[in-house]
Amino acid sequence: MYLVDKEVIHETFGKGSVVNYNDNYIKIDFESGAKKFVFPDVFGKYMTLVDQEAVNLVNMKIQKREEEKKKEELKLIKEKALERERQHILEQKKPMQSRKIHPKQQAVFWCETGEEDKIFTEGRIFIGKVKSGENKGQPKRLARITWKSGCLLTRREPGMPEKDRRILGVFMAEEGFNGQTCKDGYIPAHPEYRLRLSEQESDKMLFWNYYINKNFPTRMTWNSGRQRYFNNIWMAQILQDIVSLKS
């Protein structure tokens, strides 16, 4: 249906008729002369059509315009939320990028029997709790660990000599992770950068082939503690050997 020649009533200019219109503007001829208005917005505020069919057509256009406006507003809200999240991640990365890289910025964990199943299923590892002092019972923090750090999983079976401790797998910390600000004691795993070894592969990857105590190079002991910091170079060698093993 066309609106040309349809009669309108404006609250200021009185009666008039439609001369022409497009998706954005409408021109009305009044006794006082022709006037141009924003279309269809003007019909929701200052002007009405006399013909009911024309009213229905304009109402449909107004409703469609409102729906498009709401979609655009929702899109802007989502974009702003994504931008805030991006800025939050960047703010978390700033202190990590500015600080000097520590030579031992990796972590190695002593896993209980079967614990690796839970770790790889949940995609995170619990560091542990503070055992003494005023913070006793609170989650531990590993201040050196960042989103550029790797977490190595190892296990020694009950009755097994320490020298036979096996590597079970490894994962990178999730992007944006900062050990200095971690509060819940968990290191989340990156969704892609994680490797789990089969039993056969694990038997070929012994932990003590890589880890060396510089004060006691021949000593292989790990009597207590959930984790240790780990040399960056050692981790790089382990990753290289795992890739070679799986290729």
* Mean pLDDT value of segment 30-36: 91
Same domain for 130 and 242, yes or no, is yes
CATH assignment of the domain containing 231: 3.10.590
- The residue range of the domain holding 83 is 1-98
At which of 98, 114, 137 does a domain end?
Answer: 98
SS3 sequence of 147-163: CCCEEEEEECCCCCCHH
At which of 98, 118, 135 does a domain end?
Answer: 98
Number of other CB atoms surrounding residue 124 within 10 Å: 18
What is the reported pLDDT for 139?
A: 92
At which of 67, 98, 129 does a domain end?
Answer: 98
Number of other CB atoms surrounding residue 149 within 10 Å: 24
State the residue for tokens 């799986």.
Answer: 246
- Whether 81 has a pLDDT exceeding 90, the answer reads no
Taking the C-alpha atoms of residue 208 and residue 184, their distance in angstroms, rounded to an integer, is 30
* Mean pLDDT value of segment 46-65: 87
Query: What is the band of 99 on the pLDDT scale with cuts at 50, 70, 90?
Result: low
Listed in sequence order, the residues at least 6 apart from 88 whose beta carbon sits closer than 8 Å to its beta carbon are: 176
**pLDDT tens-digit readout, 131-183:** 888 889 999 999 999 988 999 999 999 889 999 999 999 999 999 899 999 99
Distances (CA, A) of 45 to 10, 62, 140: 10, 11, 62
Query: What is the band of 188 on the pLDDT scale with cuts at 50, 70, 90?
Result: very high
Q: With contact defined as beta carbons under 8 Å apart, do 141 and 180 qualify?
A: yes
Same domain for 81 and 112, yes or no, is no
- Whether 96 has a pLDDT exceeding 80, the answer reads no
What is the reported pLDDT for 164?
A: 95
- Whether 191 has a pLDDT exceeding 70, the answer reads yes
CATH assignment of the domain containing 59: 2.30.30.140
Same domain for 195 and 143, yes or no, is yes
- Whether 69 has a pLDDT exceeding 90, the answer reads no
Same domain for 177 and 86, yes or no, is no
Query: What is the band of 65 on the pLDDT scale with cuts at 50, 70, 90?
Result: confident
Q: With contact defined as beta carbons under 8 Å apart, do 15 and 32 qualify?
A: no
Same domain for 80 and 122, yes or no, is no
Tokens of 210: 């890589």
Number of other CB atoms surrounding residue 136 within 10 Å: 9
Polymer length in residues for the chain? 247
What is the reported pLDDT for 144?
A: 92
- Whether 57 has a pLDDT exceeding 90, the answer reads no
Same domain for 91 and 2, yes or no, is yes
Same domain for 236 and 201, yes or no, is yes
Comparing 99 with 56, the larger pLDDT belongs to 56
Same domain for 181 and 152, yes or no, is yes
Same domain for 91 and 114, yes or no, is no
The fraction of the chain above a pLDDT of 90, given in percent, is 52
* Mean pLDDT value of segment 194-205: 94
Query: What is the band of 199 on the pLDDT scale with cuts at 50, 70, 90?
Result: very high
What is the reported pLDDT for 60?
A: 87
Q: With contact defined as beta carbons under 8 Å apart, do 11 and 4 qualify?
A: no
Same domain for 198 and 228, yes or no, is yes
Q: With contact defined as beta carbons under 8 Å apart, do 1 and 57 qualify?
A: yes
Same domain for 139 and 67, yes or no, is no
Upstream peptide bond of 217 is cis (omega within 30 degrees of 0): no
* Mean pLDDT value of segment 65-71: 88
- Whether 200 has a pLDDT exceeding 60, the answer reads yes
Tokens of 138: 């609170």
When divided into structural domains, the chain yields a total of 2
Distances (CA, A) of 142 to 6, 39, 222: 75, 62, 19
What is the reported pLDDT for 86?
A: 79
- Whether 215 has a pLDDT exceeding 70, the answer reads yes
Same domain for 138 and 79, yes or no, is no
